[in-house]
A and B are shown apart, each in its own frame.
Chain A
Amino acid sequence: MKRAPLSNVKGPDATPGAGVEPDDLADLVLRFRAGDEAAFDRIVERLTPRLQAIAQRLLGNAEAAEEAVQDAWVRIYDRIGDVQDAGAFEGWATRVTLSRVHDAFRVRSRERAAKEGLAGLRAAVGSPPEKVSASEREDLARVLREAIASLDDVHREVFVLREIEGLSHERISRMLGTPEGTVWSRLSYARARLREYLKRRRDDVT
């Protein structure tokens, strides 16, 4: 991915009416930082599908997800100055979104606690999808969402990108600007913590 230091802002051509085709997110980011408001709108249009899909999966609710993503974009708009490197923008936008999603999750988790724990998840491993009822699936999803929400930011983000979004370790590494080895070890830590959380839940359930 192109990495351009922000001091090296390259504006589009000076010819009036001749825009640069926006085939590069980093380019849009540079233009946005340069004050081009339309570039921000384009960035929102491009990244929202992906971000809102993750939000929706983690929250289990479309409206809450849309709220969270809009909150994230407002914050991104305000804090664009924090981004040092145009190539790191997508990773940063993802983090901001996950943070909003996490806040929204905590607000919403007044739902009744899911009954299922590890045992239910284990049963789901071997069974063909038809054997696991829709409500069981919903319960399993819910307990796992709670478990994911219990992780700290750094470990939650790698787990979500790997297991919820299905990105490769290499892509995660590039997106977050973290060495690949670190991604692997953070995933391992995340899995261990999730397992502990789910085991505790199972023990709590009578």
Chain B
Amino acid sequence: MTDEELREPERPVRSAAFRPTGPEEKARCEDFAERISHFHDGRWPEGASECLEVEEHLAQCPRCAEILEDYRAITAGSEIIRSAEISGVDGERTSRRVRARLRRRVFRRRLRWAGAGVGLAAAAAAVVLSVALAPPAPPPDELGVKPGVTGLRDAPSTEELLRILGARRDRAAPRAGVVPVGDGTAPAPERARRIPRQALVPGPPLLGLYLADAAGSRRGLRIVEVIPRSPAERAGLLQGDYMLKIGDENVSEPDGVRALVRRAGPGAKIRITYARGGEIRTVEVVLAGER
């Protein structure tokens, strides 16, 4: 399925005959206003009764004919905007910069409460005291935060301090002054609470492909992106190829591919059948990871 729809060719508008527009005419024009937009946008196929109705009306109604001209002009202007050359777009760079911004933001918040009279020493002392008085920190996936705490603008709770100062046992203690990204911003605690630890697995993808959601396409699954330095890339698969089979099994949707790859497991060798430029090819791919 392609993202862009081919526009229907422009329909010629028969020259408008001039007629005085009375209140009756105006009422009918209001009826037609929305239809003119649909007509312009190709809602109905050529020759359909809706089209013929609109064309007939346009032939007799200069006001509406003008509206159609204006809509065409707006589309022409949009084409100009659309055809502008795009420069300097780099998903990875943006991702890095967004990360940097998120980190700076948390750091600024720390400075804010640190500067508000709670020196680091005092904070540390407070922690020692709270740790001594409070029950032992609960296991990571139950670590919650008081509802209503948004970031660290308020004086941090005990849990916040523990987390910031690296009391979470499942993580290496952060360097002083550096707060792990994700802590301190409101959504993170909810996320931490919901998911058991072992499910948060980073790690290389086994194959390394983004596949289009084909919804039963007979052409196979289109590869929309090949992840750099992945097994798929090393095997020579390219964006635009169509995946047809893994081993002897036909694949018709991304979920199917995922299931087959998972079944094969890390380090396994699989044979992928794919189509490129009308040719059917096969390739052996060694999945990432170790057996």
Contacts and interface: CB of A to CB of B under 8 A. Distances in A.
Interface of A: 1-2, 9, 11-24, 33-38, 41, 44-49, 52-53, 56-58, 60, 62, 66, 69-70, 73-74, 77-81, 118, 121-122, 124-125, 137, 140-141, 143-145, 162-169, 171, 184-185, 187-188, 191-192, 194-195, 198-199
A36 B204 CA distance: 13
Interface in B239-291: 254-255, 257-258, 261-262, 265-266, 289-290
B73 interface: yes
A189 to B, nearest CB: 8
A26 B174 CA distance: 31
Of the candidates B81, B89, B92, the one having the most CB atoms from chain A within 10 angstroms of its own CB is B81
Chain A binding site: helix, strand, loop or mixed by DSSP?
Answer: helix
A62 B208 CA distance: 31
Contacts of B78: 144, 163-164
Contacts of B261: 21
Contacts of A56: 84, 86-87, 89
Q: Quick one: which of B87, B187, B207, B209 has the most chain A CB within 10 A?
A: B187
Contact of B198 (A14, A37, A145, A163): A14
A166 B82 CA distance: 8
Given A11-B195, A48-B91, A145 B81 contact: yes
Given A18-B265, A185-B34, A188-B38, A124 B74 contact: no
Interface residues of B, number: 80
Given A34-B195, A35-B200, A191-B37, A77 B73 contact: no
Interface in B159-193: 181-182, 185-188, 190-192
Contacts of A81: 186-187, 190
Interface stretch (B97-105, B115-123, B131-139): B97-105
Interface in B31-50: 33-34, 36-38, 40-41, 43
A188 B206 CA distance: 47
B233 interface: no
13 contacts: A11-B199, A17-B201, A17-B266, A17-B290, A18-B262, A20-B262, A52-B89, A74-B102, A125-B72, A163-B75, A167-B4, A195-B67, A198-B73
Given A192-B33, A195-B70, A141 B80 contact: yes
Contacts of A171: 3
B254 A23 contact: yes
Nearest to B33: A192
